[in-house]
Amino acid sequence: MSFTIEKIHHVAYRCKDAKETVEWYKKHLNMDFILAFAEDHVPSTKAFDPYMHVFLDAGHGNVLAFFEVPNQPEMGFDPNTPSWVQHLALKVKDRDALMLAKTHLEDNGIEVVGVTNHGIFHSIYFFDPNGHRLELTYDDVTSEEKVSMITEAMKQEMLDEWSRTKRAPVHTQFLHNEELEEVKQQLPMGE
Ligand SMILES: [Fe+2]
């Protein structure tokens, strides 16, 4: 291969209402509205499908974008995929920043799950007005050390084991020991 991917240029999701989305991300996540474009025809497919495309600043050159496509049926989500699976994670500086965000969101009536301890990072979860699941997270001070314990060989072994058995390999259970302690105590031995 003679090329490498440099970075994520932007990610794009559908939104219900472009204005509401821009305002929500500014109010709750302090993300700036940096660009908009709109057409009646889709540049890639040439289909007639009037759209508004808005771009938000996710820090350090990262861009989060949305499309409003009012001529399409109301948006939904894959009913066979649990709502926690597909999400966008945004990094904050530290625990103080995370707790400020959690308080702000809850004060505004937004339901927040967490803080969840992933060993290498700590996260809260909530939904934007379009139903997209968002995660805010900061890296644990032991993050690098813990990640370095998950070697190349281990990752490959885990992937192969999963592919073969579809049961979770135990190699990285040390990451969630604390968070899942209670759940695991409730399970019968061996599970
Ligand atoms: Fe995540």
CA dist 119 and 121 (Å) reads 6
pTM of the model: 0.93
Q: What is the pLDDT of residue 189?
A: 57
**Res. 165: pLDDT tops 80:** yes
Q: What is the pLDDT of residue 186?
A: 85
Using the mean position of ligand 1's atoms as its centre, give its distance from the Cα of residue 86 in Å: 8
Distance of CA 58 to the CA centre of its chain: 12
Q: What is the pLDDT of residue 191?
A: 47
pLDDT tens digits along 27-86? 999 999 999 999 999 999 999 999 999 999 999 999 999 999 999 999 999 999 999 999
- Map out the domains of the chain with their CATH numbers: 7-71 (3.10.180.10), 149-186 (no CATH)
Using the mean position of ligand 1's atoms as its centre, give its distance from the Cα of residue 33 in Å: 24
**Res. 8: pLDDT tops 90:** yes
3-state secondary structure 29-62: HCCCEEEEEEEEECCCCCCEEEEEEEEEECCCCC
Give the mean pLDDT of the chain: 95
Return the half-sphere exposure (C-beta side, CA atoms, 13 A cut-off) of residue 164.
7
Using the mean position of ligand 1's atoms as its centre, give its distance from the Cα of residue 119 in Å: 13
The amino acid at 154: M
Using the mean position of ligand 1's atoms as its centre, give its distance from the Cα of residue 130 in Å: 18
CA dist 42 and 67 (Å) reads 11
Say if CB 102 and CB 92 are below 8 A apart: no
Q: What is the pLDDT of residue 1?
A: 82
> Tokens representing 76?
């939904």
Using the mean position of ligand 1's atoms as its centre, give its distance from the Cα of residue 40 in Å: 35
Helix (H) or strand (E) holding 179: helix 177-186
Nearest to 159 by CA among 168, 146, 176, 86: 168
